Chain A
Amino acid sequence: MSNIIEVKNLTKYYNGFLAVDHIKFEVKKGEIFGFLGPNGAGKTTTIRILTAFLKPDEGTALVSGYNVSKNPLEVKQYLGVVPEVPNAYVDLTAWENLMLMGELYGMPKKERKENAVKLLKDFGLYEVREKLAKGFSKGMKQKLLLCMALINNPEILFLDEPTSGLDIESARLMREKVQQLNRDGKTIFLSTHNMEEVNQLCHRIAIINHGKIAAIDTPERLRAQSMELQYIEVLFDKPVNLAKLTERLKIANVSPAGNKFRIYTTNPHIIIENLVDFARENNLKILDLNTMMPSLEDIFIKLIKQKI
């Protein structure tokens, strides 16, 4: 797969503050690329540079082969953006919002009308197309934003927290739409705090912290690189003294998790044997025992705690 986004040495200062610090990464055509980081890590600034909204102070970013600094209009022509904060015109109808976007992308009238009808039908907004966006629910506004971002049939879609604040059903629908769009050939650049969303959707993820890329890989490989974060969850039939269990397992990292115990280890097989011995010695029954791979959330927390 060829790269549709190439970022090299990208740097941005805000009033002397280094917001993005010489980052480098690529996004392959047709993938869903997750972009994670804590608040203030440089996510939004990076997205604003990639969408030709801000100029970098150093480095280059190529989007669809165009340099974001030198060819901002060409870059914008090939992408759609769904920002974190809903920014459809609330005093315009859904239809008027889409027509405005179509005109700003220079689409012929017939094409923008056809695309608008199709999108509004796909997203279930066709019946309310003549209603002002100010009367829309959060979910409807988010769908409208996605329609607006798709009106020009872009190659790349930048989604900034697309399911933030949505109810469960709307969030699920949004994720399904993202997957569908990806199946249709669109590259998705997804910025989110939702680890479950990343887990479900992304082919690869990058974690940015303090303006630097802390990790970039597939979710599976990132998990494999953080095996010290894997743990065993065990549930006994009777209450167990934590100190006694810790002493028997000869391992420090044991913590209660509800009525279970969570034991972090890089050698799960030895711990399982010891747990079985411990249960026999204390006349206990093991009701539940699971080996858990590190979650993306664990990896995320680990990486953002590391000093770069």
Chain B
Amino acid sequence: MKRKIDFIFIQLKRSLAITKKNIKIYYLKGPVIIFGLIFPLFLFFAFTIGKSIPLKELLPGLIGMTTFFTATAVGPSIMSWETRSKTLERLVSCPVFLWTVLLGDIFSSFLFGIIISVIPLFFVLLLKISFLNFIILFLGMILANFCFSILSILLSAYPPSDLPATSLMISSLVKFPLVFISGVFVPVEKMSFFARAIASFSPLTYFTDLVRRLILGVSYYPLPLDFAMMVIFALIFLVLAIKLHEKTFPKRIS
């Protein structure tokens, strides 16, 4: 048992080395800046400018969108960049598993998400919410960032492209519909039955719901369910991401 724990610890440490590398290389890439910073900001302005909505009501959507877009900004294109430059081959020729590399990518995606998505949290401090709610919100944000980061790595699994633009396009095809069905702009309780059923398949729904509960005091799902669903989604995404990447890996190096 101890050997297994040591083994996992060693691989996690090597994942962090990959994370460090990703931070140096990918955080300042054009698509990451566009999809992770500029895009959510402009989308937010598009839905708020000209409307007299109080900050308190705007924040849940803003936090949900920022967290989702920033946490999924880095992940989708790392694998295709690494495939194109043959550096994936370099990484996997070292004593690491493919899942070690994927975890490194997830951590770097997660850190980028956390760094950017805490910005709207400063606005939350202007509101009168309890310290406990603030801490729960922060923990929810960490969990959501992890969940969305794993989703972003899953989105880069298929097709095993060496073109970052292809990966970004495919991830956008999934990300945009998710934003519109996840209670970012229309709360879940105001959706039709059919829309609510679809929304329940999106991890972003549970995060937005959690944020609404903690800031506005209203939500559709109970708080523990929001947390549980994000954990469940994260685990499903992780298993799927590892399995799919392992399956498509030979095509990436051929």
Contacts and interface: CB of A to CB of B under 8 A. Distances in A.
Question: A and B bound?
Answer: yes
Interface stretch (B81-89, B117-125, B230-238): B81-89
Interface stretch (A76-84, A173-181, A199-207, A239-247): A76-84
Given A100-B21, A103-B17, A106-B13, A81 B93 contact: yes
A166 interface: no
B99 to A, nearest CB: 12
A106 B7 CA distance: 11
A282 to B, nearest CB: 60
Contact of A104 (B89, B94, B254): B94
A104 B25 contact: no
A105 interface: yes
B253 A104 contact: no
A96 to B, nearest CB: 7
A89 B25 contact: yes
B213 interface: no
A87 B96 CA distance: 17
Nearest to B87: A87
A101 interface: yes
Contact of B97 (A73, A83, A85, A101): A73
A244 B14 CA distance: 73
Contact of B89 (A77, A87, A96): A87
Nearest to A90: B85
B170 interface: no
Is the interface on chain B under 10, 10 to 19, 20 to 34, or 35 or more residues? Answer: 20 to 34
B253 A105 contact: no
Contacts of B92: 53
A216 to B, nearest CB: 25
Contact of B24 (A73, A81, A96): A96
Contacts, number: 66
The interface centre, meaning the residue of B10, B18, B92, B94 with most chain A CB atoms within 10 A of its CB, is: B94
B93 A51 contact: yes
B21 A89 contact: yes
B86 A92 contact: no
Nearest to B91: A104
Interface string B13-54: 110011011001100000000000000000000000000000
A105 B94 contact: yes
Given A100-B17, A100-B21, A76 B94 contact: yes
Contacts of B254: 14
Contacts of B10: 106
Given A51-B93, A89-B21, A104 B14 contact: yes
Contacts of B87: 87-89
A103 B89 contact: no
A50 to B, nearest CB: 11
A181 B130 CA distance: 66
B90 interface: yes
Contacts of B224: none
A140 interface: no
**Residue picked from B93, B96, B250, B253, most chain A C-beta under 10 Å:** B93
A85 B95 contact: no
B14 A106 contact: yes
B90 A88 contact: yes
A87 B90 contact: yes
Nearest to A81: B93
A92 B95 contact: no
Contacts of A105: 94-95
Interface of B: 10, 13-14, 17-18, 20-21, 24-25, 85-87, 89-97, 250, 253-254
10 contacts: A73-B95, A73-B97, A83-B86, A89-B25, A91-B24, A92-B21, A96-B24, A104-B17, A106-B13, A106-B14
